[in-house]
Amino acid sequence: MRQFNHAADIMRLDKGIRKILASTNSEISVHFPVKMDDGRIEVFNGYRVQHNNSLGPYKGGLRFHPTVDINAARALAIWMTWKSSLVGLPYGGGKGGVSIDPKLYSIGELERITRRFTYSLGENIGPDVDIPAPDVNTNPQIMAWIADTFASTKSPSTRMLNLHVVTGKPVGSGGLNGRDRATGYGVVASIKSWAKLKGIELAGKKYIVQGFGNVGFWASHFMEELGAKLVAVQDASGTIFNEEGIDTEKLHNHVGNNSGLISGYDDADKMDNDKFFSLDCDIIIPAALGNQITEANAHLIKAKLIAEGANGPTDVDGEKILLSRGIDVIPDILCNAGGVTGSYYEWLQNKRSENYHIDTVLKMISEKLNEAFERTVNTAKKYDTDWRTGAYIAALERIQQTYMERGVFP
C-alpha cells in the first residue's frame, strides 16, 4: 500500500478510484477437511483474495506454504492487478493458497487437499471469473487436479469448456508449450532490456539467484545461454558458492533428485546464508519469497541490478537504500510478468481450441515484456521518479482510464 500510495500521489490518481483500489473486492477464506493416509481427518485453511476486476477476470497464482494467510494473499493479489495492467492483459488481480508445508504430505494427500480446496472455492473461480495458476510449491500437476475437479462439477456437455479455469496445466491437459519457463524467460528478457538501455554486455557478468524453483532455475538457464556466470544460489536448504560458475543444468538435475533442494550439491562450496546478498556480483535475481532485501542488508549489496523474479523481494526501506546507492531495480510487476503473460496465451489457446508452438509463445512474451519495460522507463522519466513508481503509474493509468470511460464502478 505504501508503494501504491506513493504512485497515486505523484500521478494524482482520481480520489474515487483511489478509494476503490485501496481495498480488495472480495476475500474468500475456506476451512476444509481432508482424510490423511492414516485415516485421520485434518482441517486446512485456504484463501483466495480478489482485488480488482475492472480490466477482466481475476488472475493470479496459488501458493502452498506455511506463510500463506489472508494478509499475504491480499498483498499478492494487489500486485497481480498492477502487473496485469502494466503488461496490457485483460485481467484483474487475485491470489491465494493453502497454509501448509507440502513436504509434510504424501502425493495422495496433496491431491486430496488440492481437490477439496478447489471444491470449497466453488463458483468463486471460473474461466471468466477468477483463474488461478502456479506459484510457490504449486506445479502443473496441481493445476491439472484443479482443472479436473472444477470441470467435474459441470454437466458432461460443458466439462471440456472449463479447462481454462486454471493455467500452468501440463501440456497434455491443455497447458501451454513454454508456460514452464515463461516467468524465468521474462526475467531475462527484462534484464536484456536493462543491459541494452545501459549499454552493458551480459556475457561474462556474474549473477546470483535466490530460489532455485521454477523461476530461479529458468532465469538461470536463460542467463547461462547469454554467457553470464551463476556464482551462488540460495534456497530453503542453504547457500552454495562457486567462483568458477555453477552449471545450471547439473544443479537442476541434482535438485530434481533431492526433494527440490540444492543441499548436498558437490560442485560448489557451502556458505553462510547471511553473506549471500553481499557477494561480489553484477546482478541479483531474487526468486523465492518476499521481504528479502531490507534496510538490514541493502547497504551491503555490490550488484548493479536487482531483477525481481519473486513478488515483493525488496521492501520499501531496502529499496530506498538501493536507489540512493545507484543500484537499479527492475520491479516485480514488470520483471516477473512473463508468467502471467504465458498464462494469458494458455487461456487464449484453450478458449480458441488452438495449440501454440513454443517459439511463437516465447516471441509473444518477449514482445509484451519489452513494451512494458519501455512503458515503465518512459513513465518514470515523465514523472521524474524511480522504475517501480513508473511501473505503478503506467498500470494505474490504464485502470483509471477504464473507470473513467465507463463512468460506472463495477
Ligand X SMILES: O=C(O)CCC(=O)C(=O)O
The CA distances from residue 245 to 211, 238, 242, 281, 284, in Å, are 17, 17, 5, 12, 15
Distance CA 60, CA 78 (A): 10
CB 133 within 8 A of CB 168: yes
Catalytic residue of the set 15, 95, 103, 192: 95
C-beta of residue 240 within 8 angstroms of C-beta of residue 268:
yes
183 among annotated binding-site residues? yes
Phi first, then psi, for residue 58 (nearest 5°) are -65, 145
For residue 355, what is the DSSP state? -
Residue 302 marked as a ligand binder: no
Cα separation values, 73 from 63, 84, 343, Å: 9, 16, 19
CB atoms within 10 A of CB 257: 8
> Nearest approach, Cβ of 188 to ligand X (angstroms)?
16
Cβ distance to ligand X smaller for residue 133 or 146 = 133
- The yes or no reply on residue 311 touching ligand X (CB under 6 A) is yes
Strands 238-241 and 229-235: antiparallel
Q: Map the footprint of ligand NAI across residues 183-212, applying CB under 6 A.
A: 183, 210-212
In contact, 342 and 365? CB cutoff 8 Å: yes
Using the minimum distance from each CB to ligand NAI, give the nearer residue, 118 or 214.
214
- The set of residues, in sequence order, having a beta carbon less than 8 Å from that of 2 and lying 6+ positions away, is 316
Shortest Å distance, C-beta 307 to ligand NAI = 12
Given the complex with ligand X, which of 85 and 343 has the nearer CB atom?
343
Binding segment for ligand X (CB under 6 A), chosen from 48-56, 226-234, 335-343, 348-356, is 335-343
What the block records as the C-alpha cell of 302 is 555490490
| 24 labelled ligand-binding | no
> Judged by CB under 6 A, does residue 133 bind ligand X?
yes
Residues with Cβ < 8 Å from 154, sequence gap 6 or more?
161, 162
Amino acid at site 383:
Y
Q: Could you say which of ligand NAI, ligand X, none residue 111 binds, taking C-beta under 5 to 8 angstroms by partner kind?
A: none
Stretch that binds ligand NAI, among 28-36, 309-317, 371-379, 398-406 (CB under 6 A): 309-317
Contact call for residue 343 and ligand X (CB under 6 A): yes
Determine which helix (DSSP H) or strand (DSSP E) holds 329, and give its type and residue range.
Answer: strand 328-330
Q: Containing H/E element for 80?
A: helix 70-87
* 111 versus 235: smaller Cβ distance to ligand NAI: 235
- State yes or no: 59 annotated in a binding site: yes
Tell the smallest beta-carbon distance from residue 234 to ligand NAI (Å): 5
* Binder of ligand NAI out of 236, 271, 300, 364 (CB under 6 A): 236
Using rule CB under 6 A, residue 61 touches ligand X: yes
211 vs 390, beta carbon nearer ligand NAI? 211
Evaluate whether 364 touches 372 at the Cβ level (below 8 Å). no
Asked whether residue 343 is marked as a ligand-binding residue, the answer is yes
340 binds ligand X (CB under 6 A): yes
What does the alpha-carbon distance between residue 325 and residue 181 come to, in Å, rounded to a whole number?
32
Contacts of ligand NAI in 49-108 (CB under 6 A): none
Total of residues contacting ligand X (CB under 6 A): 13
Q: Can 95 be counted among the known catalytic residues?
A: yes
The answer to the question of residue 177 lying near ligand X (CB under 6 A) is no
Residues facing 238 on adjacent strands: 235
Binding site for ligand X (CB under 6 A): 59-61, 83, 133, 135, 167-168, 311, 336, 339-340, 343
For binding to ligand NAI (CB under 6 A), which residues are involved?
Answer: 134-137, 183, 210-216, 234-236, 287-289, 309-311, 336, 339
Q: Residues marked as binding for NAD(+)?
A: 183, 214
